Chains A and B, each alone.
Chain A
Amino acid sequence: MNSLQQMILALSAFWAERGCVLQQPYDLEVGAGTMHPDTFLRVLGPEPWSVAYVQPSRRPADARYGENPFRLGKHYQLQVILKPSPADVQEQYVRSLEALGIDLKQHDLRFEEDNWEAPTLGAWGLGWQVMLDGMEITQFTYFQQAGGLELDPISAEITYGLERLTMFLGRSRSVYDIAWVPGGVDYGQVRHQDEVEFSRYYFEVADVEFLQSQFDGYEAEAERCLEAELVLPAYECALHCSHLFNVLDARGAVSVTGRVALIARVRRLAVACARDYLASRERLGFPLLPAGEPGAA
């Protein structure tokens, strides 16, 4: 199994069979699958939730003009959330690797400590980077806090790095060489121009003043939405701010002190959204709670 789309199909099928909602990518620029509202907001509160989706994730600072064989300004994550984390979640994950054709009788799979923290989201968790024969292929995290709120129940987050996994299994020397379609179109053909243009945009062309005014504008808009009790639109505005911050940072337009201040502004929005989302679900009677559970409508 060494094309990107086989990987996506196999993992999607695997997790769909295990009762996950097969969601689609969020239609905004985000830095990681964690920022998709179906992760960041759904892990809050008592409602059970299982979901899997691919999320294109933008890291402007990692863009390399399409010249570095490993680094990308945008990569694809396959994100799984299991809430509450099942007792056998590690075992399920191991089975998912077998579904990709990885025979663990022949490989070395290790879980190395790698705790996760997202200051802009007021979120952290404990977990591991999963190493297959010395290569990091997955981030595995038990979320402990999101939007500054303690979580209960706890969600397990499994994030597969799709390019890395495909590269590794196909022993490719460059990410641009991996097959997107088995025996057909490759990753470079699909994405190279995108990497080149966005690298130039992030590092050379992006207009700092425009980005800054956008940031201010989306921040104000988020506040207005929160006042109008529209938490999902407010959260979208917060995501815009987060991405704008990343672009400003890549553009070299953020000083050390400015950085701290901008992170604090995004975090404040994320925390407010988390709080209001939880309240909105409570008002709805936590619709996903099984009937009879305390708190259920």
Chain B
Amino acid sequence: MGDRELLLEVRSEEIPAQMAGRGAAELGSRLFEQLMALGLTPSEVETGFTPRRLLVIMRGLPEGQPDRSEQLVGPPVSAGLDEDGRPTRAAEGFALKAGVSTDDLERVETPRGEYLAAQRTVEGRPSAELLADILPDTIRQLSWPKTMRWGAGLGPWVRPVHGVVALLGGEVVPFELFGIRSGRTTRGHAWQAPRPFEVRDAADYRRKLARRGVVVGFERRRERLEKEFRAQAEELGGSLVEDAELLDRLAAVCEVPGVVRGRFGKRFLELPREVLRSSLRDHQSAFPVERNGKLLPGFLTVMDRADDPAGRVRAGNEWVVEARLADARFFWAEDRKSSLAEHARRLDRLTFHVQLGSYADKTARLEKLAVEICEQLGWKRERTAARRAAALLKADLVTEMVKEFTSLQGVMGGVYARADGLPAAVWKAIYDQYLPAAADDAVPRGRVGAATALADRLDTLVGIFGLGLVPSGSKDPFGLRRAAQGVVRIALEAKLELDLDLVAARAVRLYGDRLERSGEEILAALRPFLHDRIRHLLALDGYAYDEIEAALAAGVEHLPDLEARVDALHRVRDRPGFLAVVLAAKRIANIVKDAPEHRLDEGLLKEPAERRLAADGSELRTRTKQAAEAGDYRTCLRLIADFSDSLEAFFTEVLVMDENRELRHNRLALLQSIQRTLSRTARLTEMVVDKAEYRRRQREGNDQE
């Protein structure tokens, strides 16, 4: 390990916020990997970024590569030495090439025979020289989502580059990048402190940038901003409306982090909280401030400067915020001139999909489908509310507010329904309809919300699948994966004992003759699509791949049942005996694989082990049936695990493929019956058994006995 420090700064025009962070991290890790491969592993890597610079600092770099010795293999001994053991021309030529004298050649054994070889010392290269080689290419080759060219064909890179600082142990590492020579000169903020200055090393760099207000570390910028936001929110008399994503976004768009505190007219507080928040957040990247759950007429955002001496930044932001809010208030007033039900009447002018009809057509289907879902779930009292929510579900798409703030779709409909005085179950269902949109979103509140959200997604899935437009690879223009994921999450988290096949079949019928595929074709395509989402979500919950496959293979009646079976497998798989039963199940599957159904004749059972298997099997069948009907799959699987002794005894003592045809068929019948019993909860043959693990367990089991 060495004691050299590398300081690398690439200065450019503004890199998009979310890209700069990833770019700096990638630059650090790529450099680290390359240096490691060259034998120059640093002890410490630090990265940082602002919109206008990427920074990598490495510490503990060696001065250079150590010298190493290298063996060169030359001609075979037969060709390299003559009969008297003197070097031939070939050996001399090789020695010359290797830079040693012929006396220093040695004989080495290789798989192809004895060869002449030379040992040669390769001098390690100095780090500075190696860095001068690898830095420009590494910077050029960063993998940006989108690159550009500039000037007379410079680039490609994410944005035009303006300067490079590259210092190793305080000395410039010389190279050229996009027509710019590396050096020790950098600048502060591009137009507040543009005068160039020189830096000696990382500490000097940091000190001099800090003097100019630039904070290169993203985390430090975020911490500083968060602290300042909280302090300023208090000065406004409230507290910050938490929003970690917005804070990240704001910390990434400035290098001289400063907070702007502004106010807006109290008259805008009559706008719903959702609208105020969206307007501030989506248009102005600003935090609202609240007290006792009520928003205050103020906001906080960032500026890329330390202070606001003449108050112009605040005044400007206030002007823009008020203009935006005036817009929102205008939309609110316009939209409120009609009830949501009146807006819904205009849905016939809004196309859902050319072949699938307008949103009015969709609404008509949703009303029926939402009621169908309630009926299947036995939710009699929710039917009316579900129909009302479904009728208004998409109405906000024609409102001015949603045209302006598309991110408010659904939420806005809920707000308008609430303002129209509709029951809580109805407006909440409309409000929550797009949940869950992201992984950490909750599912819709309440039964009406679940029923309408499911109806909406299944209608879309069935319609698009019905046109044969199944998503493939990264192409999913209708967001069907997210829709399917929503279906699965809602069914799992709200524990809906709903047969999705039945609902989907109804959804198909509601389309009338609009679809191009038959109901069977649609279901056959939709089922595996939903199963993929189920696999994904259950795997996220920590269930193993084979547990999910085994449970899926036994059939899906409804998702909570499937999850209960996966969970039971997960908990029981380590129980003594379970693995043995899995192996036995695989063995049974192999034996009965091609056999037709046979009838069991109890009278033909003659070996004690087969009589015992038949008797225990019959008891197991009764008891697992009871447990499964009670939904107690863990007991079910425990009983199955405890069955291992009977199975093992059978396979040890009884030959299934007996010469006697009758006996053979009867034993096959017995195994077929056992197979059905074992498969009740899960198709055990899908379970992966680690044989070594199995034997180890067996040994441990024996030791205990």
CB B138 to nearest CB in A, in angstroms, measures 22
Chain B residues 191-214 with CB under 8 Å of chain A are: 191-192, 194
CB of B153 within 8 Å of the partner chain:
yes
Contact of B148 among A108, A144, A168, A256 (CB under 8 A): A144
| Contact in complex: A85, B150 (CB < 8 Å) | yes
The verdict on A90 contacting B354 (CB below 8 Å), with A108-B304, A111-B51 known, is no
Distance from A292 Cβ to chain B, minimum over Cβ atoms (Å): 15
Q: 8 Å CB contacts to B: which residues of A97-147?
A: 104-113, 115, 125-126, 128, 132-135, 142, 144
A151 to B152, CA, bound (A): 10
Q: Would you call A84 and B151 a contact (CB within 8 A)?
A: yes
Q: Which 6 A-B pairs have the closest CB atoms?
A: A133-B316, A113-B16, A108-B303, A134-B317, A111-B14, A126-B148
**Contact sample, A vs B, 17 pairs, CB 8 Å cutoff:** A69-B323, A84-B152, A85-B160, A94-B191, A108-B308, A109-B191, A110-B51, A111-B14, A126-B148, A133-B316, A133-B317, A134-B260, A134-B321, A135-B320, A153-B151, A154-B149, A154-B153
Q: How far is the CA of A84 from the CA of B194 in the complex (A)?
A: 24
Nearest-Cβ distance from residue A43 to partner chain B, whole angstroms: 13
Q: Are B148's CB and A69's CB within 8 A?
A: no
Task: Give bound CA distance, A113 to B13, whole Å.
Answer: 11
Contact check, A90 vs B13: say whether CB atoms are below 8 A apart. yes
Contacts of A256 in B (CB 8 A): 351, 354
Query: Which single member of A126, A134, A151, A168 contacts B146 (CB below 8 Å)?
Result: A126
Whether B309 is near chain A, meaning CB under 8 Å from some CB there, is yes
Most interface-central of B149, B162, B284, B326 (chain A CB within 10 A): B149
Residue of B14, B304, B320, B321 touching A128 (CB-CB under 8 A): B14
Q: How far is the CA of A52 from the CA of B323 in the complex (A)?
A: 30
Residue count of chain A within 8 Å CB distance of chain B:
41
Interface residues of A (CB under 8 A from B): 68-70, 84-87, 90-91, 94, 104-113, 115, 125-126, 128, 132-135, 142, 144, 151-154, 156, 168, 171, 173, 255-257
Least Cβ–Cβ distance between A86 and chain B, in angstroms:
7
* Contact indicator B253/A110 (Cβ below 8 Å): yes
From known contacts A90-B190, A108-B303, A112-B253, infer whether A134 and B162 are also in contact, taking CB-CB under 8 Å: no
Contacts of A87 in B (CB 8 A): 151, 160, 162
B45 at the interface (CB under 8 A from A): no
Please give, as numbers and ranges, the residues of chain A lying within 8 Å of B319 by CB-CB distance.
Answer: 135, 168, 171
Do A85 and B317 have beta carbons less than 8 Å apart? no
In the complex, given contacts A107-B316, A108-B303, A168-B316, what are 9 additional A-B residue pairs having Cβ atoms less than 8 angstroms apart? A87-B160, A105-B192, A110-B254, A112-B14, A132-B316, A135-B320, A144-B149, A153-B153, A168-B319
A260 to B148, CA, bound (A): 27
Is B327 in contact with A70, judged by CB distance below 8 angstroms? Answer: yes
> Measured between C-beta atoms, what is the minimum distance from A112 to chain B in Å?
7
- Min Cβ gap B282→A in Å is 13
Within 8 A of A (CB), among B533-547: none
A91 to chain B, nearest CB (A): 8
Once the chains bind, are B354 and A108 in contact (CB under 8 Å)?
A: no
CB-CB under 8 A from B37, the residues of chain A are none
Q: How far is the CA of A149 from the CA of B631 in the complex (A)?
A: 65
From B153, B253, B316, B320, give the contact of A152 (CB < 8 A).
Answer: B153
Residues of A within 8 A of B351 (CB): 255-256
A166 to chain B, nearest CB (A): 13
CB contacts (< 8 Å) of A152 on chain B: these are: 149, 152-153
Residue contact A85 to B151, C-beta cutoff 8 Å: yes
Q: How far is the CA of A70 from the CA of B320 in the complex (A)?
A: 11
Cα distance, A152 to B149, chains bound together (Å):
8
List residues of chain B with CB within 8 A of the CB of A84.
Answer: 151-152
Given A104-B192, A107-B316, A134-B284, A255:B354 Cβ within 8 A: yes
Name the residue on A nearest B354 (C-beta). A257
CA distance A125 to B321 in the complex (A): 29
In the complex, whether B301 has a CB less than 8 A from a CB of chain A is yes
Residue B316 contacts which of A90, A134, A153 (CB distance < 8 angstroms)?
A134
Q: B215 to nearest A CB, angstroms? A: 16
Q: How far, in Å, is B292 (CB) from chain A's closest CB?
A: 28
Cβ distance A169 to chain B, nearest Cβ, rounded Å: 9
Whether A134 touches B301, Cβ cut-off 8 Å, given contacts A107-B312, A107-B316, A111-B14, is yes
Query: How far is B321's CA from A111's CA once the two chains are assembled, in angstroms?
Result: 19
Min CB distance A97 to B, Å, is 9
Chain B residue contacts of A90, Cβ below 8 A? 13, 190
**B315 CB-CB contact with A under 8 Å:** yes
